[in-house]
Amino acid sequence: MGLKQSTSKAAAKPREAAAPSGSQTLLRGLDVLEAAASGVIGLADLAARLELTRSTAHRLASVLVERRYLAFAPREGYTLGPKLLELGFSARQQMNIIRIAAPHLEALSVATEDTVHLGVQEGALALYLDKIPGRRRVEIGSRVGERQPLTTTGLGKALILDESEERWHELFMADLGARASENAFRIWLKRMRAYARDGHAFDLEENEDRIRCVSAPIREAGGRIAASISLSSAAQYMSDSRMEQLAKEVKATTAAISRELGWRGDPPRA
């Protein structure tokens, strides 16, 4: 079987947890899939990018084509196949938060004309589950399935509103790393306290330049924060007064979704 994988892999990337355990063929197959996610890619490029021989790349890709995970156009290359449409659709169906929230997000997007995101916490990151582009011609650089820091995004801040200040500190340091001064944390902490009190959060161009967000948490039965939504737009549309106004609308939306999830409690403080 393979020869140079042991050398190249051990030497090249000491990824997190470094799990060389397991199924090389499956891992390589997934690599092929993901290589095609970034756009059409020919066999030669594919093999080069993944450091596989043409034979191996071809064999793996052929299996994926046969199973409809990839589509192949003879002189063009490989693209993602219809099976991924299907599985993506099924994945959405399985996350009931997405199903339940969808109509509410849609309504909020129509009412405000801005981009709406839905997300949950996954590990120490915020995972984007859904995105409804606004009517304005502002591109928000986010992709469904992607993860972003918890402490520098509106979505993320709303997810950790209930955490202790110790935990906040941990997360802040983890996200900002070396760039985090104690002073920067104090400013951020002060804001977070206000957000926690008010039950909503803002993002003032911290994560992405010229983009401001308003966000709020969704609570499930029992009160735990299960998800959050954010409303994003270019700073020019996001005056302080409009953000305060939007906060009310966002909270009305999260309240409605929370109610569907069985949360009957009052919004935290009044």
Partner DNA sequence: TTGCAGAATTTCATATTATGGGATAAAATT
Partner DNA sequence: AATTTTATCCCATAATATGAAATTCTGCAA
Beta bridge partners of residue 218, listed in sequence order? 227
Radius of gyration (C-alpha) of the chain in whole angstroms? 22
Could you tell me if 84 and 109 are in contact, meaning their C-beta atoms sit under 8 angstroms apart?
Answer: no
Query: In this structure, what token pair is assigned to residue 82?
Result: 């219809």
The DSSP bridge partners found for residue 217 are 228
Instruction: Map residues 44-73 to x or -, x wherever contact with a second copy holds by CB under 8 A.
Output: ---------------xx-xxx-xx-x----
CA proximity to 204, closest of 148, 153, 139 = 153
- Return the one option of DNA, a second copy, none that residue 2 interacts with (CB less than 5 to 8 A, by type): DNA
For the bound state, the minimum distance from the C-beta of residue 146 to a second copy, rounded and expressed in Å, comes to: 7
**Of the residues 35, 52, 57, 80, which one makes contact with a second copy according to CB under 8 A:** 80
CA separation, residue 152 to residues 6, 180, 189, 215, 238 (Å): 38, 12, 12, 12, 17
Tokens coding 114 = 């801005």
Q: How far is the CB of 124 from a second copy (least distance, A)?
A: 15
**Residue 87 touches DNA, criterion: CB under 7 A:** no
The verdict on 236 binding a second copy (CB under 8 A) reads no
The DSSP secondary-structure symbol of 41 reads B
Taking CB under 8 A as the criterion, the residue among 42, 82, 222, 265 binding a second copy is 82
Single residue of 10, 18, 44, 252 touching DNA by CB under 7 A: 44
Which of the stretches 21-29, 83-91, 96-104, 208-216 binds DNA when contact is defined by CB under 7 A?
21-29
Which 8-state DSSP code applies to residue 138? -
Can residue 50 be called a binding residue for DNA (CB under 7 A)? no
Exposure of 158 in the CB half-sphere (CA atoms within 13 A): 30
> Exposed (0-12), middle (13-18) or buried (19+): which is 75, by Cβ within 10 Å?
exposed
75 binds, among DNA, a second copy, none (CB under 5 to 8 A by kind): DNA
Report 24-43 residues binding DNA (CB under 7 A): 24-26, 28, 42-43
Does 159 participate in binding a second copy (rule CB under 8 A)? no
With CB under 8 A as the contact rule, the residue among 48, 73, 91, 194 that binds a second copy is 91
Confirm or reject binding of residue 179 to DNA (CB under 7 A): no
Do residues 29 and 57 touch, judged by C-beta distance below 8 A? no
Q: Which helix (H) or strand (E) holds 116?
A: strand 115-122
Applying CB under 8 A, the residues found at the interface with a second copy are: 17, 19, 22-30, 33-34, 37-40, 59-60, 62-64, 66-67, 69, 79-92, 94, 122, 127, 129, 143-146
Applying CB under 7 A, the residues found at the interface with DNA are: 1-6, 22-26, 28, 42-44, 52-56, 58-60, 62, 72, 74-75, 77
